[in-house]
Structure 1
């Protein structure tokens, strides 16, 4: 056909084996795709990477696989964001906020569970270097995994590791065709590549690798931070906790540490007062009105019991703060619809 405009193509890599710990993933890709060319982006499912790197949890014969999976989620999590029954949304040590810590029980035998790669950026760099050595080509590598999406049904693949390609394309400061200056637009290119590659990899076809060809090359920082720029920092996260499914931190008041002055005093007061009500968790967050404001979130649904417990806890906190010379003001801001935000504690005059 003539007249077809140039564009981007997505090519599946067929003929790859079932991978096991210690296998040569790059060697298998080079054998199955000797046609790789400079500028290609090789997208590899994280499951293949994890298998060859031995990131597996064994499930002994007759063992409760679901119980082992739930324990693995707890082990991989550094923070629980939300929980409902057996479902947990957690932050992993790699920084991703994902259901079940990204632990996969599909496309693997009944005798194992698959964890996310320990450092998928490092895995991508090794694959890229090895493909260069084997085929003499300069390619980028993206390691993909399947995530759910906030406020949207359905799954899509995103990048959890990358090398040789900038994770974000920053358009901030550019001017569009109408003269509007872009203020916030940063495109997660590696996520788009991961999602595009899954169109040919699929979930059931047994194709763990795809190649995206025709993407315009973009400069990469010399240190190549991989997917680190995709991790949203807590200070920029407007939704660090759920509402109905809010969970407490492991140490009451820990959210406010290590901050000096007013917040340090509030944190210590809540930790002390919480000792008397260990089964009544609250979550403290830096208030949006200044350093002297603390937002208090409820974990349990608002009812008469939680109201009484919150009153007792706040009373003990305020008494302690007053004894130390702090002036306080409590502002209820919760809504009848079940908002997790119960109110704000304001601190005034500091102790002399």
Structure 2
């Protein structure tokens, strides 16, 4: 079994209202067994999920956190607006549970690759819907995974993970099956969509401005239906050791 990940070059700067599926289709022709992995920022830009700091009025909570962290209170207010639950506040970062259910730093709010110095890019309102819409607009109806970079408990560094999925089984459950020598597996639960996201991130550099990667070789997990999206990957707060 061979898996390849190839960055799709030449995508122009994307602005609100752009037909992202058409822009991708003009540069690559995926098959129905492929996975098109898209960094969320280009999706957010196309959907207008960009906030101009000039229009943000920070509240008292944002000002207090900003004073502790030495950052712009308007930026903190944007993070709070994207947050369903503030899990942890340190001297340099906010750990948030977003309205989508993602637990991540700063609610996924980021200034990198924003078109203007006064802008912040936030996560798409419904990344699964975004993935389904992209899938419907692409030739060949490939699976689509929308990604963002997350940190991990217990480990340094960041890894791209899936925040929106269409047409790909997000998990493969081996619990109750056996390994190669017949021993029962009790905890093996493969995060297929997250691994596709991480593999795609290795095919591009962070400064390449190539937000789209074609991943081939994952056909066994591609589904005809759009499927359940990213939700099966999210651990309920009641089972999260860190919430």
Q: Tell me if both proteins adopt one fold, taking TM over 0.5 as the criterion.
A: yes
The CA deviation at 1:68 is 1.7
Structure 1 outlier segments of 4+, above 4 Å: 219-223
What is residue 229 of structure 1 aligned with on the other side?
232
Q: 1:156 maps to which residue?
A: 159
Structure 2 partner of 1:83? 89
Which of these two proteins has the greater Rg computed from alpha carbons?
1
Pick aligned residue for 2:12 from 17, 23, 33: 17
The one of 166, 169, 173 equivalent to 1:170 is 173
**More deviation, 218-227/95-104:** 218-227
SS of the counterpart of 1:141? strand
User: Which of 125, 130, 133 is residue 123 of structure 1 equivalent to?
Assistant: 130
Deviation of 1:60 after TM superposition, in Å, equals 2.7
Within 5 A, what are the aligned runs for 1:77-116?
Answer: 77-108=83-114, 109-116=116-123
Partner of 1:195: 198
- Distance, in Å, in 2 between the alignment partners of 1:186 and 1:127 is 27
Question: Aligned equivalents of 2:118 and 2:222: distance in 1?
Answer: 43
Q: Which runs of 5+ in 2 are unaligned?
A: 59-70
Aligned positions of 1:1-352 closer than 5 A: 7-33=2-28, 35-60=29-54, 66-108=72-114, 109-131=116-138, 135=139, 137-218=140-221, 220=223, 224-240=227-243
Distance in 2 (alpha carbons) for counterparts of 1:57 and 1:9: 35
Contact 2:5 2:216 in 1 (8 A): yes
Report how far residue 39 of structure 1 moved. 0.6
Q: Per the alignment, in what secondary structure is the counterpart of residue 128 of structure 1?
A: helix
Query: TM-score, normalising length from structure 2?
Result: 0.89
In structure 2, what is the Cα distance between the partners aligned to 1:32 and 1:49? Answer: 16
Closer, same or farther: CA 13–176 of 1 in aligned 2, 3 Å: same
Q: Is the 8 A contact 1:166 1:221 kept in 2?
A: no
Gaps of 5+ in 1: 1-5, 241-352
Query: Corresponding residue for 1:343?
Result: none
- Quote the offset at 1:56 in angstroms: 0.8
Are the structure 2 counterparts of residues 40 and 54 from structure 1 closer, same or farther at C-alpha, using a change threshold of 3 Å?
same
* 1: CA distance, partners of 2:230 / 2:99: 14
Aligned residues: 229
Q: Matched residues in 2 for 1:151 and 1:9: separation?
A: 29
Rounded Cα–Cα distance in structure 1 between residues aligned with 2:201 and 2:226? 28
Q: Which secondary structure does the structure 2 equivalent of 1:17 belong to?
A: coil
Return closer, same or farther for 1:118/1:234 CA change in 2, 3 Å cut-off: same
Taking structure 1 as the reference length, what is the TM-score of the superposition? Answer: 0.62
Contact 2:52 2:119 in 1 (8 A): yes
Counterparts of 2:205 and 2:72, CA distance in 1:
25
SS in 1 for 2:183: coil
CA RMSD of aligned residues (A): 1.9
Higher RCO, 1 vs 2 (CA within 8 Å, ≥6 residues apart)? 2
